[in-house]
Structure 1
Amino acid sequence: MSQTVDRALSILPLLARGPAGLEQVARHLDVHKSTALRLLRTLHEHGMVHRQADQRYRLGARLIALAQEAVENIDVRAVAHPYLAELNEACGHTVHLAVRQEDEVLYIDKVESRYPVRMYSRIGRPVAVTVAAVAKVILADLPEAERRALAERLDYPRHTPRSTPGPDAFLKELARVREQGWATDLGGHEETVNCVAAPVRGADGRVAAALSVSAPAAVAGSDELMRLLPLVRRTADAVSAEYSGRPPAS
């Protein structure tokens, strides 16, 4: 490991025990104060540490947020996977689990269709955020001001004639999804692919992830896929119940 990286990482356990001044950090690392200061400034720029008014440093909010996000994402995937497999067994179509990371929504799990025609989605890849059903489910849960700000800074590529044309249409769609509690993508990203999605909620009631069933129109038309919506919602509710420790919704 790089000595610089090693030293920077060694600062974090020290600050986890409480705020520390420059001299204390330098002594902990056994380096000159100028070296310690450079490391602290770099960590501060990335939000990993925060300099207080008394000039001491503590762990930064960004580091805490990343740790929390990582834990939640790993946990929700571990909890959800058996339910995704069960849903896939029941319907035969591709099942996805997705989470938000800043302005993107990423697939974090996938169970492949048993049909010969497969989806080209990949775990770890971002979805087409303005049209994907999982993205709509997740972004619809954001506070109104945050939804509006996000809608204004997104791009709106015309994947198909059914793609979302701009921020006004996107906000209307998110409002509808927020009210009904589920979302669709019926040919918005690929004309021949349809998808239905439902939210997975955490203990605070907020949407932590979204799960979906997707199928090529040649395998399951939009009407057939919509008939699976109750099953998708029951599955999402079951995942939510286990993930949050709350009873399933009626």
Structure 2
Amino acid sequence: MSQTVDRALSILPLLAEGPADLGQVAARLGVHKSTALRLLRTLHEHGLVHRQRDQRYRLGARLFALAQEAAENLDVREIAHPHLVRLNEDTGHTVHLAVREGDQVLYIDKVESRYPVRLYSRIGRPVAITVAAVAKVILADLPEPERHALTARLDYPAYTSRSTPDAAAFRAELAAVREQGWAVDLGGHEESVNCVAAPVRGPDGAVVAALSVSAPHVVASAGELLALLPRVRRTARAVSDDCSGRTPPEDTTPPEDTTPPEET
């Protein structure tokens, strides 16, 4: 990278900490004030920094507009798909990606299991929102008032004996999911199918999607599927990093307690 471009870009993180004057910018860059001034003027012309009346500089409105535009045009499905394929190759099980649209959570991508027993799920089709692991991950991230209002207007079908019975139980489960950072569906929609899911986060840290691994009992037990949870979470973090343009940090996630709940 050119030294001039490198210095100009180095100004932006400095101003993200708060307004700074010319001397502070020059000192941080290790350059003469005249050099810092030229860089600031160029950034100012492009709307990336703004000079205040007190002669200090702050981040410009154009920078925020660009960030918002980038976020709005983010294609999480395109970004996530290679990760879903790798997760499917590693596990052999069905992998889904889902997003929220209004009061529904929809599958927007799917990589089929390599096993002959397949799951009946389709891209573009809503999930069973009160039991699906992907739905729990997405709804758990909502602000509490919005989460409360949504859970109050949902219906709670008894798909199986493990289905979520009512709004109070669903809120309690979402609170637990929000705390732990992952969700499961152990026979809540279909007695014979289990699922584990983790959140995909956008540049602002909010959950923008959820990815999951699902398998029927005849292919993988609940315990075997839960043992894949660390891998599912790593994949979700990798998608999140790609969505946000971050360099992935070293993985220091402690082992999960993935003991399946006792049968009832």
TM-score, normalization by structure 2: 0.67
Q: What residue in structure 2 maps to residue 140 of structure 1?
A: 140
Q: Secondary structure of the residue that 2:73 maps to in structure 1?
A: helix
Match of 1:84, as an amino acid? L
Aligned match of 2:176: 176
Q: Quick check: which has more Rg, 1 or 2?
A: 2
Structure 2: runs of 5+ lacking an equivalent: 1-68, 252-264
Does structure 2 retain, via aligned residues, the 8 Å contact 1:96–1:213?
yes
Q: Matches of 1:203 and 1:228 in 2, distance apart?
A: 26
Q: Is the 8 A contact 1:194 1:216 kept in 2?
A: yes
Q: 8 Å contact 2:93–2:112 — kept in the other structure?
A: yes
Question: Retained in 1: the 8 A contact 2:112–2:118?
Answer: yes
RMSD over equivalenced CA pairs, Å: 1.5
Give the equivalent residue in structure 2 for 1:119. 119
Please say if residues 156 and 164 of structure 1, whose CA atoms lie closer than 8 Å, have aligned partners that are also in contact: yes
Aligned twin of 1:71:
73
**For residue 180 of structure 1, what is the amino acid of its counterpart?**
Q
Task: Tell me the CA shift for residue 244 of structure 1.
Answer: 1.1
User: Letter of the aligned partner of 1:227 in structure 2?
Assistant: A
**Could you give the per-residue CA deviations for residues 195-236 of structure 1, whole angstroms, max 9, x where no partner exists?**
000000000000000000000011000000000000000000
Change (3 A) 1:69 1:167: farther
Aligned to 2:195, the other structure's residue is in SS state strand
Moved more, 182-191 or 238-247: 238-247
Runs of 4+ in 1 over 3 A off after TM superposition: 67-72
Distance in 2 of aligned mates of 1:98 and 1:211: 6
Partner Cα distance (2:207, 2:196) in 1:
16
Partner of 1:226: 226
Q: Unmatched 5+ residue regions in structure 1?
A: 1-66
The alignment-based identity, stated in percent, is 72
Q: 5 Å matches for 1:31-70?
A: none
Q: Which residues in structure 2 correspond to 1:1-250 (within 5 Å)?
A: 71-72=73-74, 75-248=75-248, 250=251
Which amino acid is 2:190 matched to? E
Measure the CA separation in 1 of the matches of 2:220 and 2:72. Answer: 35
Change (3 A) 1:85 1:161: same
Verify the 8 A CA contact 2:93 2:214 in the aligned structure 1. Answer: yes
CA distance in 2, matches of 1:248, 1:137: 21
